[in-house]
Structure 1
C-alpha cells in the first residue's frame, strides 16, 4: 500500500472555499461516498476562531451552491458538529477513477485541505498525482510504502491508540497546558531544564498549585499509557 498525505487546494470544494474566506476549520469525523449519486456525505467538526466566526462559517456553508444537504447536529460555544453532503469534486473523481481511496480523516483550514490517500500500487499513485497536477494546486507532504506487517499491526492496535487519545481528552485545559509547558521547557529531562518555580511563574500560580496540576495530569495519562501497553498486540 502507498500512503500519501497531500496538502490540496480544490477550487470546487465548499469547505476549502469557506475556510479561505471565514476564520473556521473543518475536520472530518466520518465520511461515506455514495456511488449511485456521486456525492460525499460527511460529519464534520467545525471550529471557529470565536462564536461569531463560527456563525459566519456555518451560514456560508449552509448557503454554498456546491452543498446539497446540511444539518446542524450539535453546537457548543465555538465548535459545531454538522452533517453535510457535497457533489463529487474533480480531484475526488480523479483519485477514485485511479483506484485511490481515503485512508484517514481530512482537515481543512485557511483554504487548503490535508488529505490522506492510499493506493495499492506505485504506478497507480504516480499516475494519479500526474493527473491531479493538471487541474489542482497541491503539495505532497508525506509519502511512504506501508508493508503488510505494518498495516496489520496498525489495525490490530487501534484500540491501544484510542486509549491514548481518550487519556488526552480526559485532561482539563489547565492540566493539558501545564503538561505541555513542562515538556517544552524540559521539566521531565535529566538534568531538568525547568523547575516547579519557573512553571509557577509562567502560569502566575504557586509552586504547590503547579505540582498538584502536574500530578493530576500525569496520573490520568500514565494510567492510560499502561492500559494501552497491555492492549498492544
Structure 2
C-alpha cells in the first residue's frame, strides 16, 4: 500500500474557505464519504482563538454554498464539537474515481488541509496526482510504501502509539518548547553541545527554572514511552 501525506488547498471546500477568513481550525474525528449521494458527513472539533471567533467561524461555515448541513453537538468557550454534511469536493471525487482511499482524518487551519491518502498501485497514484493539480493546490509532504507485515504491526500496536501520542500532547507549551530547543541545541548529545546556563540565557530564565521544565517534560515523555512499551508487551503475550 502506498501512503501519502498531502498538504492540500481545495478551492471548493467550506472548511478551507472558513479558516481563510476566521481564526478557527477544524479536526475531523469521524467521517464517512457517501459516493452515491456525493456528500461527506463528518464529526469535527472546531477550535478558535476566542469565543467570538468560534461563533464567527460557525456562521461562515453554515453560510458556505457547499455546506449542506452544520449543527453543534456541544460547545464550551472557544471549542465546539460539530456535525456537518458537505458536497463532495473535486479532490474527493478525483481520489475515489481513480481507486484511491482517504485513509486518515482531516486537519484544517489557515486555509490548508492535511490529508492522508492511500493507493494500491503507482499508476493510480500518478493518475490521481496529475488530475488533482488541475483544480487544487497541494504538495506531497511524505510518501511511504507500507507492506502487509508493517501495516499489521501498526494496527496491532495502535493503542501503544496512542499512549505515546497522548503523553506528548500532555506537555505544556513551555515544556514542549524547552524540550525542543534543548534537543535541537544538542543538550542530549554526548558530549553535550549546550549547557543549562546557555538554555537559561536563551529563555531568559534561571538555570533552576530550565532544569525543572526539562525534568517535567522528560518525565511525561518517559512515562508515556514506558506505558507504550508495556502495552506492546501485553499485545505480544496475547
TM over 0.5: yes
Partner residue, 2:129 = 129
Partner residue, 2:141 = 141
How far the C-alpha of 1:161 sits from its partner, in A, is 0.8
Residues 75 and 200 (structure 1), Cα distance of their counterparts in 2 relative to 1, 3 Å cut = farther
How far the C-alpha of 1:153 sits from its partner, in A, is 1.4
Partner residue, 2:41 = 41
- Asked if 1:91 corresponds to 2:125, the answer is no
How far the C-alpha of 1:163 sits from its partner, in A, is 0.9
2:44–2:82 Cα contact (<8 Å) kept: yes
Counterpart of 2:86 in 1: which secondary structure?
strand
Partner residue, 1:54 = 54
Consecutive unaligned residues of structure 1, counting only runs of 5 or more, are: none
Q: Which whole-Å CA distance do the structure 2 matches of 1:141 and 1:172 have between them?
A: 27
Q: Given the two structures, how large is their TM-score scaled by the length of structure 1?
A: 0.86
Q: Single out whichever of 88-97 and 165-174 deviates more from structure 2.
A: 165-174
Q: Which whole-Å CA distance do the structure 1 matches of 2:134 and 2:178 have between them?
A: 47
2:16–2:112 Cα contact (<8 Å) kept: yes
Partner residue, 2:156 = 156
Counterpart of 1:191 in 2: which secondary structure?
coil
Q: Single out whichever of 93-102 and 157-166 deviates more from structure 2.
A: 93-102
Partner residue, 1:215 = 215
How far the C-alpha of 1:118 sits from its partner, in A, is 0.8
Q: Which whole-Å CA distance do the structure 2 matches of 1:48 and 1:182 have between them?
A: 30
Consecutive unaligned residues of structure 2, counting only runs of 5 or more, are: none
Q: Single out whichever of 205-214 and 93-102 deviates more from structure 2.
A: 205-214
Residues 84-110 of structure 1 deviation map (CA, whole Å, 9 limit, x = unaligned) = 111111221121122211112222233
Partner residue, 1:111 = 111
Q: Single out whichever of 91-100 and 28-37 deviates more from structure 2.
A: 28-37
Counterpart of 1:133 in 2: which secondary structure?
helix
Residues 107 and 191 (structure 1), Cα distance of their counterparts in 2 relative to 1, 3 Å cut = same
Q: Single out whichever of 166-175 and 154-163 deviates more from structure 2.
A: 166-175
Aligned length: 233
Counterpart of 1:134 in 2: which secondary structure?
helix
Partner residue, 1:29 = 29
Q: Which whole-Å CA distance do the structure 1 matches of 2:52 and 2:203 have between them?
A: 28
Q: Which whole-Å CA distance do the structure 1 matches of 2:5 and 2:166 have between them?
A: 25
- Asked if 1:4 corresponds to 2:4, the answer is yes
Partner residue, 2:229 = 229
2:19–2:110 Cα contact (<8 Å) kept: yes
Residues 27-57 of structure 1 deviation map (CA, whole Å, 9 limit, x = unaligned) = 2222112345332111223333444443332
Residues 74 and 197 (structure 1), Cα distance of their counterparts in 2 relative to 1, 3 Å cut = farther
Residues 178 and 73 (structure 1), Cα distance of their counterparts in 2 relative to 1, 3 Å cut = farther
